Chain A
């Protein structure tokens, strides 16, 4: 009951946004099914027209590198909660800096900061965040404005999902066990980044990049990221790292082209 009251303005806003394009209501279910990275410019689409996707085929990809010796990762001490301790047979390390021997830097959130025009409705597909072995999985992720977020607890112990945004409304929701329902939330405004923490297990943290469009990615084990489905244009791309801060680069990419943007963070 409470929830529906809280959500109703959001629902109305979504309906209005859909209404702007003149599309029929059922398109609301059609548009969010668009795969991530495929822009759906509802606002600019003429009445009754199919969402414009043609021509949005530019790609920005690259690799994030750490210049210098990565700090030795801290071993997470989970002895405070035997359930967490027993979930692991080998040491678990903090994920604030994860770099390969070659310096490929993982968990960097890369997104188009400026240059994107048009409206990109949130996909209906939720972004999943799991608490597993008393660690957030994934540690860094991207999510679109108003896209559903579902936080699961896979541990037979209590967590509290405590999100600390500043532009968005914070929340701290209990998730008493792996039998507890998922915590379902969404962020109404862009914000890079939103931190998640658990007051019961102080070592737990995760970061979400909330962006108004689908043009973002997170660097993987090999430090690489890919942002695809962009319209041709000139963009400012920002890379965020939990410890090393942010960097931006400008890039111009044409239809069907793939431009490479590499970032290098200096180890402190």
Chain B
């Protein structure tokens, strides 16, 4: 992969993933602006104003676009031209989902010739409505690499709808059967307890897990309709719901199913149940929505600066008042560009507390399996692990992911490596990405300067690592300057999914806001 490519995909993918409704070209500009002007403005100010603007733009564009959309008369030539220009790169020239970039992605771009669409408002097995297709193009599919296409004017998007339909005979063979949603009881009359009971009764937990963290007993064995392994959605990650995360969207997915992906339709199931009506499905939809946790995609992460002792355990109450930052992680593409397995770890959340001596970082991420298992019959001998990668000089506008590391004259990386089978984390210096991605990590040192505490519960790791601000390795990276940017990134291994290892892009961390602002 070339450097340029990774920059492009970083921009496109990260922002679409995290903020589905935002226009990625606008964000591209926004990112460039941030990278260049970050040196001259206090970070908090930039962050506030830009995020507010971005959020506002997002609110404006999400969900309202189709309301006044007047459908123009079909324009086959325009549809074809737009498809070739914007869609073919991933979905392929003939729509078979085999574009030049297809192999990079999980989930894979849809084979549009099959006419099987996941995000529909129609009965299982029937095609989506035109409005469904228009909405997908307009909003994109959050959590996947399908961006929104609000940059295209509405007539072009409608022309694309017609063109997509022409790619598959499914649209002529079967008519969409729209599902009529029952009356929304509204938040006031919703009974989350009923919702939870339905969640259990309908065995949602079999795949999605009791807490919704994609760790149900059947999660690892699922296949899609083409017998490829597939993972259930992590319902706590509202940002990854492809078709939107509000109760109405959730109910629609429940009743319509997600065709091709294995998620079945529940409309007949619920209708045929005794003592349960279709209206009750709203309770379930709202309950699922309640499992979502807010994600904070901060461009700049701020630590809490204290003078006393640092929190050392995952459950220390001190963490509750510390800002948290979420970071997307992406699976490392193997040399040939094929996904080995669907990713199991999709994001990591971190919080930092620091004093003059050291920093404590609490890392939280969803991993469906604890590896190695506590019992002797471990199915996988590989541990779960995380590498906290620090670049003391700050990101300096470096927006590539760790995958593209290093570029010319790249500084050394300071890596703190925690693994579930180690007594305490280890420290190492890495000159390049492969050094710490490869297992085993031959030159990791148990220097005793690092400490950690970890717990695994309900499909989630919470790990606290403490490390000094001074370099741990004699020939290591420079000391961490509390007042300057320190770039942080993460690499995560899931022992239960050993071919899948995920890395993040860089986030700038400021340990001591006051010191930084005074500079």
Chain A residues within CB distance 8 Å of chain B: 1-3, 5-6, 80-82, 157-158, 160-164, 169-177, 180-184, 197, 199-202
Contact = CB atoms under 8 A, between A and B. Distances in A.
B206 interface: yes
Contact of B265 (A171, A180, A182, A197): A171
A201 to B, nearest CB: 7
A173 B262 CA distance: 10
B381 to A, nearest CB: 17
Interface in B213-248: 217-218, 220-225, 227, 230
A172 B265 contact: yes
Contacts of B266: 173-174
Contacts of A181: 269, 272-273
Contact of B264 (A174, A201, A202): A174
Nearest to B261: A199
A171 B125 contact: yes
A177 B271 contact: no
A177 B190 CA distance: 25
A158 B126 contact: no
Given A2-B179, A6-B123, A158-B206, A173 B221 contact: no
Contacts of B206: 157-158, 176, 200
B207 A164 contact: no
Nearest to A179: B201
Given A162-B225, A200-B218, A169 B126 contact: yes
A163 B123 CA distance: 14
Given A81-B221, A158-B206, A201-B221, A172 B278 contact: no
Nearest to B228: A202
A116 to B, nearest CB: 25
B124 interface: yes
Contacts of B220: 80
Given A169-B123, A172-B125, A174-B257, 17 more contacts: A1-B278, A3-B268, A6-B123, A80-B221, A81-B218, A81-B221, A164-B225, A169-B126, A171-B124, A173-B124, A174-B264, A174-B266, A174-B269, A176-B202, A176-B269, A182-B272, A202-B221
A174 B201 CA distance: 12
B124 A180 contact: no
A173 B265 contact: yes
Interface residues of B, number: 38
Contact of A200 (B225, B262, B265): B262
Interface string B128-144: 00000000000000000
Contacts of A197: 225
Nearest to A160: B264
Nearest to A200: B218
Contacts of B217: 81-82
B271 A2 contact: yes
Interface of B: 123-126, 174, 177, 179-180, 201-203, 206-207, 217-218, 220-225, 227, 230, 255, 257, 259, 262-269, 271-273, 278
A199 B257 CA distance: 13
Contacts of B202: 174, 176
A164 B125 CA distance: 9
Contact of B203 (A5, A161, A177): A177
A81 to B, nearest CB: 6
A173 B269 contact: yes
Contacts of B221: 80-81, 200-202
B125 A170 contact: yes
Contacts of B225: 162, 164, 197, 199
20 contacts: A2-B180, A2-B255, A2-B267, A2-B271, A80-B218, A80-B220, A82-B217, A158-B218, A162-B225, A172-B265, A173-B266, A174-B203, A176-B202, A199-B224, A199-B225, A200-B207, A200-B221, A201-B221, A202-B223, A202-B227
A82 B123 CA distance: 32
Contacts of B273: 180-181
Contacts of A175: 269
B203 A170 contact: no
A167 B206 CA distance: 32
Contacts of B227: 202
A183 B272 CA distance: 9
A197 B180 CA distance: 27
Contacts of B174: 169
B120 to A, nearest CB: 12
A174 B224 CA distance: 15
Given A2-B179, A2-B278, A200-B262, A184 B224 contact: no
A155 to B, nearest CB: 11
A160 B268 contact: no
Given A169-B126, A199-B262, A1 B268 contact: no
B154 to A, nearest CB: 31
Nearest to B206: A158
A183 B264 CA distance: 12
A160 B262 contact: yes
Point out which of A3, A82, A183, A199 has the most chain B C-beta atoms below 10 A from its C-beta.
A199
Given A180-B269, A183-B268, A172 B124 contact: yes
Nearest to B379: A79
Nearest to B218: A200
A147 to B, nearest CB: 18
Nearest to A182: B272
B271 A3 contact: yes
B319 to A, nearest CB: 36
Contact of A162 (B203, B264, B267, B271): B264
B36 to A, nearest CB: 48
Point out which of A160, A175, A182, A183 has the most chain B C-beta atoms below 10 A from its C-beta.
A160
Nearest to A2: B267
Point out which of B220, B221, B263 has the most chain A C-beta atoms below 10 A from its C-beta.
B221
Nearest to B116: A170
Nearest to A183: B268
A199 B268 contact: no
